[in-house]
Structures are given as C-alpha cells and as structure tokens.
C-alpha cells in the first residue's frame, strides 16, 4: 500500500451514471515536490477551488443536505432504547464538530484538493469553526499539515484508525475511504447512545453492500452490514465532470427509529473488528511497538 496517497483508486462511477462532459483528470503525478510545498501558494490554490465550487449548483444541495441531517439531531434530545440513566443523555443542541479522515495528498491529487475545498464549504454551511475540525491522513506530508494548520484546521498527530467516539454531535467526512475505516468508526460508536450523534458524509453504505460479496461483507464489515438497514442515506449529487471526486457519496445518519429495528443483542459487547480474512485491507494501521 502506498503511503503517499497517489496510488489510491478513486471509487468507480455509480451504475448508470452517465458521463456528460470530460471528467476532471485525476493526476497521479505530484504537481510539485512535497518538500518544496509553498504554503502560501497551496492555500491560495485551495481557496480558488473553494470559489470555483461555491458557484456550483450541486454544492448548494450538499450544504442543504448537511443542514437537514444536522437539524434532525441537534434540535431535540433523542429518546433512546438503551439509555439506562436519563440524566446521562448525549449532548444535544450544541455546535457540530467535524472529523475528517482519508482526505489524501491534496497537494498532488486533484480529487483530494476538491474534497478539501468542499470540506471548507461544509464547515462554513454548518457554522463549524475550522479549529473544531480535526483532520488526519497518514499520507499528509509535513508541508500539507502546515497548509491545513494555515487554513485553521486541527491536524491530528495520532492514527486513530477511525476509532473516534462521538461524544458530541459530529460530522465525519470520509471521502472514498476504505471500508475498514468506516467499520472501525461504527464499531467505536456502536450504541444507541452514540450512533445518533454521528453524521457521515462519505461513501454510500448501500453502494458498498451492492459491490461486495454478501458473505464477505457480513463477515469482514459486520458493522457496516448491520448499519445499512438501520441508517438513513441521502444520496448527494455529483456533476459528471467531478465524478471521480464526489461520486457515490451520501449523507448518512442514524435515527433512533432505525436503530430500534436492530436486535437488542447487537449492543452487547460488540467485538472489535480484526480483519483476519482481509489481505487487501484499505487502511493504514497504527504502528505497534515491537518488543
Ligand atoms: C482511497 S484513498 C482516498 C483519497 C481521497 N479522499 C480521494 O478520494 O482521492 C483512501 C485514503 O485513506 C487514507 N487512510 C488510510 N488509513 C487511514 C487511517 N488510519 N486514518 C486516516 N486515513 C487513512 C489513505 O492514506 C488514503 O489517502
């Protein structure tokens, strides 16, 4: 697996999605050497991309869908089945936070740059201060981390492997990431208390199910496989020109009504995913100390 982010494949076009105009070319060659990244120029480039996207109609729909999803769980405290202590409810009515994993090397990959620009627009729409948005990708160069800090974002220093507990309403932005990252995130939040705190903008879970052999999907990605039937997915539009950048994306939320459809037994000591049967795991794991 490359750790430069350049050899990653972007998701294939959705079935039936017609290509109307020439799609954006996703270059695999770095546009300039990462060690020599000019922070000012890189920031300007991202801001230019933000301006370009801001004028796109589809972008408006993304922002609206985020607000619809956000309002569903920010406005009122949810009544949940497994809450033993009513005083111990998750926080609601508060500012959204954001966590972004797997953005990719945005100084060399056009897709990643557009996705970063979209992230900035979504933060703006959700009135999420940039500092409340944490970003992590093992592929980031030190120059790219500087650029992200210059944009005001918080760069995480540890590989969480996607295992971040949503103790507050949180937007997770995972564009075209490997299934293991989503599965880990779901595992960490696998309770009727924490899942409703999450809004994911990322690959459609039902799309993942449709593209994966059923037996393997259930065995290796059990949390996604169960979540497909419990979550609510709102597909996000994508112009054909940007198909490699924004295809197959949805806003995913976890309404209590959907979670209540899952058997009660699912919440009892959910096992941590191990991925013993996945030789081509699309996640970079934390480095473990050798004894
Ligand atoms: C398929 S690429 C997608 C890159 C980019 N978003 C795009 O669409 O071109 C998956 C990304 O996930 C990142 N990734 C892998 N393991 C990760 C981890 N543990 N935490 C965060 N990101 C990770 C990779 O470095 C890579 O940039």
CB 254 within 8 A of CB 72: no
**CATH code of the domain covering residue 196:** 3.40.50
Measured from the Cα of 109, ligand 1's closest atom is: 9
Nearest alpha-carbon partner for 81 in 261, 286, 276:
261
For residue 71, name the pLDDT band (cuts at 50, 70, 90).
confident
pLDDT digits (tens, 9 = 90+) for 233-285: 999 999 999 999 999 999 999 999 999 999 999 999 999 999 988 878 899 99
Residue 30 lies in a domain: no
Whether 32 maps to a domain, the answer reads no
Residue 280 in any domain: the answer is no
Decide if 24 is inside a domain.
Answer: no
User: Does residue 104 sit within a domain?
Assistant: yes
Domain presence at residue 81: no
Ligand 1 neighbour 283 (Cβ under 6 A): yes
DSSP-derived secondary structure letter, 36: G
Which residues have CB under 8 Å from 184's CB, separation 6+? Answer: 161, 162, 163, 273, 283
Q: How confident is the model at residue 202 (pLDDT cuts 50, 70, 90)?
A: very high
Residues 76-131 pLDDT 10s: 444 444 444 444 445 545 689 999 999 999 999 999 999 999 999 999 999 999 99
Q: Which domain holds residue 71?
A: 56-76+91-267
Q: What is the 3-state secondary structure (H, E, C) of 66-85?
A: HHHHHHHHHCCCCCCCCCCC
Give the integer Cα–Cα distance in Å for 104 and 50. Answer: 17
Please give the distance, rounded to the nearest whole angstrom, from the Cα atom of residue 49 to the centre of ligand 1.
Answer: 20
Residue nearest to atom 8 of ligand 1 (CA): 176
Q: What is the mean pLDDT of the chain?
A: 86
pTM of the model: 0.85
Would you say the CB of residue 114 lies under 6 angstroms from ligand 1?
no
The tally of domains found in the chain comes to: 1
**Nearest C-alpha to atom 4 of ligand 1 is from which residue?**
104
Residue 20, domain member (yes or no): no
Ligand 1: atom nearest CA of 161 is 19
113 domain-assigned: yes
* Nearest of 210, 149, 151, 135 to residue 179 by alpha carbon: 210
């Amino acid at each position: 697996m490359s750790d430069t982010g350049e050899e990653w494949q972007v998701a294939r076009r959705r079935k039936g999605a017609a290509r109307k105009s020439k799609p954006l070319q996703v270059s695999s060659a770095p546009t300039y050497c990462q060690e020599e990244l000019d922070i000012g120029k890189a920031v300007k480039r991202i801001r230019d991309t933000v301006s370009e996207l801001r004028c796109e109609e589809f972008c408006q729909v993304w922002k609206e869908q985020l607000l619809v999803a956000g309002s569903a769980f920010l406005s009122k405290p949810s009544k949940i089945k497994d809450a033993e202590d009513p005083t111990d409810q998750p926080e609601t009515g508060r500012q959204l936070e954001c966590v972004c994993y797997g953005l990719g090397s945005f100084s060399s990959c056009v897709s990643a740059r557009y996705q970063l620009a979209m992230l900035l627009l979504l933060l703006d729409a959700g009135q999420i201060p940039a500092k409340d948005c944490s970003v992590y990708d093992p592929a980031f160069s030190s120059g790219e981390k500087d650029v992200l800090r210059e944009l005001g974002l918080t760069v995480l220093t540890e590989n969480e492997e996607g295992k971040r507990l949503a103790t507050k309403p949180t937007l997770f932005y995972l564009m075209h990431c490997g299934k293991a990252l989503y599965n880990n995130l779901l595992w960490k939040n696998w309770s009727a208390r924490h899942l409703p705190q999450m809004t994911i903008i990322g690959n459609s879970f039902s799309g993942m199910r449709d593209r994966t052999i059923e037996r393997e999907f259930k065995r290796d990605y059990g949390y996604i496989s169960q979540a497909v039937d419990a979550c609510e997915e709102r597909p996000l539009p994508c112009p054909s020109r940007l198909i490699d950048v924004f295809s197959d994306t949805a806003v995913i939320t976890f309404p209590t009504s959907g979670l209540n459809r899952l058997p009660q037994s699912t919440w009892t000591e959910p096992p941590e995913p191990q991925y013993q049967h996945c030789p081509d795991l699309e996640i970079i794991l934390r480095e473990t100390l050798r004894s």
